[in-house]
A and B are shown apart, each in its own frame.
Chain A
Amino acid sequence: MTFALETKELTIRFGGHTAVDAVSCGFAPGSLTAIVGPNGAGKTTYFNLISGQLKATAGRVLLHGEDISGSSAAQRSHRGIGRAFQLTNLFPNLSVLENIRLAVQSRAGLGLNLWSIWNSHRELIGRAEEVLETVALTAKRDMAAAALPHGDQRKLEVGILMALEPDVFMFDEPTAGMSVDEVPVILDLIRALKARRDKTILLVEHKMDVVRELADRIIVLHNGALVADGDPASVIASPIVQEAYLGVEVAK
């Protein structure tokens, strides 16, 4: 079987510090893998190496078996790797709808069209409106992204990822900082994506109950290295996780 996404010995060093240390891992098509580990374990850096924001010191990234290690972030996005960021990363002074529409437009490959009027492409706006509906932001479509409350910004961040319709969805703590009543919107979206069984999902998440419920598999990063890998129940029960990760949580 070809993995939807695979990393081979993926490594990045910043000076003497190895942030991601020879991580080899394959992600099966249609699976949902949770990536856990304490703060500073290298989860977000690992994501950055996969989506191309950082270039690896060594190792390779394969998408559907093809080596994409040399591709830029923009090229990887076009090839089907979509990413929602941990720290909300929006176009602050553009409207909520425009934030989504830009993602739809990128997917439609219309960016270099200089001679048509943007809003003559009704289908892009229509698609953006559909996505807005799924992240429950329709009522705020004309607000500037910067004016949204934090929870809504997180929803918009996820909405942008949805609009890109990638093959591989990467969520980096999608519910971080959200109020309790907002979390279900995002989790329902991820559940619905998972139910489709044609999208591969990577999820960094700290909430163990969420991970236990959603994930088919958990991998654990610690000091940049892959230290545990398996089905949720056995990984959570393993001593190394109890010590390296949950121990920290319990101690809090």
Chain B
Amino acid sequence: MILHRLFSGDFPRSRVLLVMLLAIVAGLVLTPFIFPGAKALNVAAKACIFIVLVASFDLLLGYTGIVSFAHTMFFGIGAYGVAIALSHFGPTWAGVAAGVAAALAVSLVLSLVIGLFSLRVKALFYAMITLAVATAFQTLASQLSELTGGEDGLTFKVPELLSPGFSLSEHPFLGVSLDGRLISFYLLIAATVVLFLLMLRIVNSPFGRVLQAIRENEFRAEALGYRTVVYRTLSNVLSAAFATLAGALLALWLRYNGPDTSLSFEIMIDILLMVVIGGMGTLYGSVLGATLFILVQNYLQDLMKFASEGLGKVPLLRDLVHPDRWLLWLGILFVLSVYRFPTGIVGKLRTAARKS
């Protein structure tokens, strides 16, 4: 019953999927204890942040059927909000709160304006508008260097509890020192869980059901008495708000923010791929898509280096798996996964579970 409320009655509905999700959650939560080193911790943290970001994009794309390229803009607004506030007011919790609040306010206004655009224009033109707005914002962010640090970005200190210098205890616990990084990591995990469950509730609410109806047949939804403009706009605003919060988490984790970390179009493409690989309109797909993508992005090169060295002097093959070719292989993996699982990993697993 508690589980039902927590997961809003929307369970994985596939045993394989459940096992995969549990493995991912366990892997992420236990990272500091089972995968030593700063890189592993960073990869796990990035996976958490992208789970929230991708889930928020799925709310828009997968559930409402709105194609937007402005999602990284809201991600960036969240990251810049925290970065600017902390570099101006110093490393205080009040600064964090002010940064997040200001970022949410900016995102609210922008998403409302963009959302209202969808009132009048066709889907393709709407996607173009979001692209234009996002590009303009990116340019603006690198031009306003007094405020944003320009291309260099902003490096800042976080509140003491979260900073690497902070120590909870002098004695390590199970070989892991209880410092600010560890605290940051577990706060990040907690935030991810809360935000994910919140989004799961939204997509399974009566409101979320209307979003899916709009995705399926907007004309009919309107004829049933749902004012689709209101729903589309609200979906835009909510999705932007969650992306903003993901951005704030990113800045707090990195203690840095710049245009390439949170605003670049590359990230937009990455999110799109993560949603599609995981499975659009499933929300659980964001967990799988984001985690797998981040893992491949960070470890494929290492794996290839290993393989390349293993192959020693085999001429052509050695060059093919050279670490420099990792983007080629990432591309091939993506094409294969979309070709094999057009409904994403979650869609595929659920179909298989229904048949058996």
* A interface, CB within 8 angstroms of B: 51, 53, 72-75, 77-78, 83, 85, 89-94, 98, 101-103, 105-107, 110-119, 121, 160, 164
Interface hits, B129-172 → A, CB 8 Å:
none
Query: CB distance A102 to B210 under 8 Å?
Result: yes
The reply to whether A121 and B223 form a contact with Cβ atoms under 8 Å apart is no
Q: Which residue of B lies closest to A98 (CB)?
A: B209
Interface of B is mostly: helix
Contact B225 A78 (CB under 8 A): yes
- Do the beta carbons of A107 and B204 come within 8 Å of each other? no
CA distance A94 to B267 in the complex (A): 32
In the complex, A53→B216 CA distance in Å? 18
Beta-carbon contact of B220 and A77 below 8 Å: no
Say whether, besides A91-B217, A91-B220, A117-B9, A164 and B225 are in contact (CB < 8 Å): yes
A110 to B213, CA, bound (A): 14
Q: How distant is the Cα of A102 from the Cα of B225 in the complex, in angstroms? A: 10
Q: Within 8 Å of chain A (Cβ to Cβ): is B13?
A: no
Q: Would you call A94 and B204 a contact (CB within 8 A)?
A: no
Residue among A75, A78, A113 making CB contact with B206, cutoff 8 Å: A113
Q: How far is the CA of A110 from the CA of B224 in the complex (A)?
A: 13
Over the window 1-24 of chain B, the binary record of Cβ atoms lying under 8 Å from chain A Cβ atoms (1 yes, 0 no) is: 000110011000000000000000
With A90-B217, A94-B212, A117-B9 given, is the CB distance from A160 to B206 under 8 Å?
no
Q: Which of A89, A94, A112, A113 contacts B219 (CB 8 A)?
A: A89
Q: Contact: B213 with A118, CB < 8 Å? A: no
Known: A92-B217, A94-B216. A115 touches B201 (CB 8 A): yes
Can you give 11 contacting A-B residue pairs, CB < 8 Å?
A72-B227, A89-B223, A93-B216, A101-B209, A102-B209, A103-B224, A111-B207, A113-B206, A114-B202, A114-B206, A118-B204
Q: Which residues on A sit within 8 Å (CB–CB) of B282? A: none
The 9 closest A-B pairs by CB, nearest first: A77-B225, A91-B216, A106-B225, A74-B227, A110-B206, A113-B206, A114-B207, A106-B224, A78-B225
**CA A226 – CA B173 in complex, angstroms?**
86
Q: How far apart sit A83 and B220, CA to CA, in the bound complex (Å)?
A: 10
0 or 1 for each of B197-235: is its CB under 8 Å from A? (1 = yes): 000011011111110110011011111111110110010
List of B residues within 8 angstroms of A92 by Cβ: 216-217
Q: Are A90 and B205 in contact (CB under 8 A)?
A: no
Q: Which residue of B lies closest to A83 (CB)?
A: B223
Bound together, the chains give a CA A110 to CA B209 distance in angstroms of: 11
The smallest C-beta distance from B228 to any residue of chain A, in angstroms, reads 7
CB distance from B354 to the nearest CB of A (A): 11
B217: which A residues are within 8 A, CB to CB?
Answer: 89-92
A74 lies within 8 A of B228 (CB): yes
A-B contact count (CB 8 A): 97
Asked whether, in the complex, the Cβ of B222 is within 8 Å of the Cβ of A112, the reply is no
Q: Do the beta carbons of A119 and B224 come within 8 Å of each other?
A: no
Q: A93 to nearest B CB, angstroms? A: 6
The residue from A53, A98, A114, A118 contacting B223, defined by CB atoms under 8 A apart? A53
Chain A, Cβ-Cβ closest to B8: A117
Q: Are B225 and A115 in contact, with the CB atoms below 8 A? A: no
On whether the beta carbons of A102 and B205 are closer than 8 Å, the reply is no
Chain A min CB distance to B128 (Å): 26
The verdict on A117 contacting B205 (CB below 8 Å), with A103-B224, A111-B210 known, is: yes
Listed residue (B201, B212, B216) with the most chain A CB atoms within 10 angstroms of its CB: B216
Q: Are B205 and A115 in contact (CB under 8 A)?
A: yes
Minimum CB distance partner of B5 in chain A = A117
Given contacts A74-B228, A90-B217, A92-B217, contact A116 B223 (CB under 8 A): no
* Minimum CB–CB distance for B6 against chain A, Å: 11
Add 6 more A-B contacts to A53-B219, A107-B225 (CB < 8 A): A74-B223, A75-B225, A90-B220, A103-B224, A114-B208, A117-B8
B201 touches A74 (CB 8 A): no
How distant is the Cα of A217 from the Cα of B315 in the complex, in angstroms?
A: 87
Query: Which of A72, A112, A116, A164 has the most C-beta atoms of chain B within 10 angstroms of its own C-beta?
Result: A112
In whole Å, how far is B241's beta carbon from the nearest beta carbon of chain A? 12
Contacts of B4 in A (CB 8 A): 117
* B-chain residues with CB within 8 Å of residue A114 when the two chains form the complex: 201-202, 205-208
Residues of A within 8 A of B9 (CB): 117-119
CB pair B213 A102 closer than 8 Å:
yes
In the bound complex, do residue B220 and residue A117 qualify as a contact, i.e. CB atoms below 8 Å apart? no
Q: How far is the CA of A93 from the CA of B29 in the complex (A)?
A: 36
- In the complex, which of the residues A89, A90, A119 has the most CB atoms of chain B within 10 Å of its own CB atom? A119
Contact between B227 and A118, CB atoms less than 8 A apart: no
Residues on B with C-beta less than 8 A from A83 are 223
Inter-chain CA distance A91–B223, complex, in Å, is 12
- For B202, the chain A residues whose CB sits under 8 A away are 114
Q: Which residues of B contact A118 (CB under 8 A)?
A: 9, 204-206, 208-209
Cross-chain contact B207 with A112 (CB below 8 angstroms): yes
Complex Cα gap A75–B207 (Å): 18
Determine how close the nearest CB of chain B comes to the CB of A201; give it in whole angstroms. Answer: 18
- Inter-chain CA distance A118–B63, complex, in Å, is 15
Residue in B5, B220, B228, B230 whose beta carbon sits within 8 Å of that of A89 in the complex: B220
Q: Which residues of B contact A78 (CB under 8 A)?
A: 225
A73 touching B223, Cβ below 8 Å: yes
Min CB distance A157 to B, Å, is: 10
Alpha-carbon distance between A40 and B70 when the two chains are bound, in angstroms: 44
Q: Report yes or no: A111 in contact with B226, Cβ–Cβ below 8 A.
A: yes
Q: Which residue of B lies closest to A72 (CB)?
A: B227
Residues in B neighbouring A75, C-beta threshold 8 A: 225, 227
| B213–A91 CB distance below 8 A | yes
